[in-house]
Amino acid sequence: MRARRVMRIAGRLVIVGAALAVPMLLSAQEVTGRVVTPDGFGIVGVEVQVLPSGPRATTDSGGRFVLWPVDTGSHLVRARRIGFSPSETTIRVRKGSQSIVITLQANAALLDTVRSQALQFELPRAFDRRAHGIGSMELGRDLIAKFPDGFPLTEMIAFDFKLAHQVRASGCPVKILVDDDSADAGMLDQIKPEGVAAVETFNSLDFVHEPTVDAHRGPPDMGGWPECTPLILVWLKGYKQPRWAGR
């Protein structure tokens, strides 16, 4: 008798609990977003949390995160990572999915590291060449320091000694690609430093595999680019290298 009574009470508690949980689930929303640097690079490893004790998430390699469940209404969201100033942002959550962007400030040295990490996912072959010592590559503060006023072709050749020597010695004209599209010196003059993610220079086409380079590689009498061709690759911010040559 006592056991049946306990079971009835327990059953009522389960029903009450379920009844209370249903409205909570119905009001739960998903909040997605990105954590970025002031110039738009995603930051990996940032802890994002709805305060004071709501859901939390850690950003992926692109700075993306998902928070769920978040009740409708106003909430304070905190984003923090070592080396950055923490940020607290008030958001208004309504029914339906929504997205937010949180900006974190970092010290200059760490900011270059964050940019480099983000670029490795956008320019994988460029960083692979850099790791294997193929050509020269500049990015971040070093890039701005070398070309504060833009990218005149003469200055770009001068900053790489091997490239400058090859231009003088081989007689092969310099080839310029901007985001893997052929360009000329006039186009380089129009590019602003703040819009460039990285610059690569090569004193020949050896070991350089990009769609346009491989498409034009060949003897000059057939309209191709010989292996002695000096090469400049300019990568603009926001460009993502397509898969090519198995990479």
Task: State residue 22's pLDDT score.
Answer: 46
177 to 33, 49, 57, 114, 200: CA distances (angstroms)? 33, 43, 39, 25, 10
d(CA 46, CA 58): 5
Going by C-alpha positions, the residue among 147, 83, 148 that lies closest to residue 114 is 83
pTM for this entry: 0.56
Task: State residue 3's pLDDT score.
Answer: 53
- Which residues of the chain, if any, have pLDDT below 50? 6, 9, 13-25
Task: State residue 170's pLDDT score.
Answer: 65
The maximal CA–CA distance of the chain, rounded, in angstroms, is 103
Task: State residue 1's pLDDT score.
Answer: 52
Domains recognised in the chain with CATH numbers: 28-121 (2.60.40.1120), 123-236 (no CATH)
Angle 120-125-130 from CA coordinates, rounded to 5°: 80
Task: State residue 144's pLDDT score.
Answer: 74
Question: Strands 28-36 and 98-103, how do they pair?
Answer: parallel
216 to 36, 181, 220: CA distances (angstroms)? 38, 12, 10
Task: Let me know if 56 is exposed, middle or buried by CB neighbors in 10 A (0-12, 13-18, 19+).
Answer: middle
